[in-house]
Amino acid sequence: MKQPISNAYLKELLACLTDATCDIDGEARDYTSFLQQIVDRFYALHGTTQKLFFIGNGGSAGISMHMNTDFLKNGRLSTHSMHDPATLTCLANDYGYDEVFSRQLAMAAGKGDVLVAISSSGQSENILRAAHLMNDLGGTVMT
């Protein structure tokens, strides 16, 4: 028989999230403030020509592609998944896997666009290069 999620677990999770802090541009902020800033940035995209990009490797790629669909369908934002197999293999073949996301961003992204970079380790070279490029383009990077 499947066990329901206990109230104690949910209370503990809420307490952890409430007490958590996040580093935003070198400044520690509470989790609620952090989430509000993200939501505000997504709201700011609505009704503009700015684009929202999602990237990730492995399981993070799956999450990224799902988020792309949700933000396109439900959020009505101009989203772009960077995981088309033909594009990835073309760019990996021509430039190396470290460049598969940054090369796409160089062709499609611009000032004011947003990159959501999902990485468990935070050390994937292809994710880091894409994040640096988005900063150079005058966009926003969320991880």
Residues 99 and 34 in one domain: no
Residues 71 and 32 in one domain: no
Could you give the number of structural domains in the chain?
2
Q: How confident is the model at residue 118 (pLDDT cuts 50, 70, 90)?
A: very high
Q: Per-residue pLDDT tens for 50-64?
A: 999 999 999 999 999
Residues 29 and 74 in one domain: no
Q: What's the rounded Cα separation, in Å, for the pair 103 and 92?
A: 10
| The predicted structure's pLDDT at residue 12 | 79
In this prediction the pTM is: 0.81
Residues 41 and 52 in one domain: no
Residues 85 and 114 in one domain: yes
Q: Per-residue pLDDT tens for 68-113?
A: 999 999 888 899 989 999 999 999 999 999 999 999 999 999 999 9
**22 backbone φψ class: left, alpha, beta (φ>0; ψ -120 to 50):** beta
Residues 52 and 113 in one domain: yes
**5 pLDDT exceeds 60?**
no
| The predicted structure's pLDDT at residue 2 | 55
> What CATH number did the domain enclosing 71 receive?
3.40.50.10490
Of 23-32, 42-51, 83-92, least confident by mean pLDDT is 23-32
> 43 vs 8, 15, 19, 29, 75, CA distance in Å?
33, 27, 26, 20, 9
Residues 72 and 130 in one domain: yes
Residues 5 and 66 in one domain: no
Find the domain containing 53 and state its range. 48-142
Residues 108 and 78 in one domain: yes
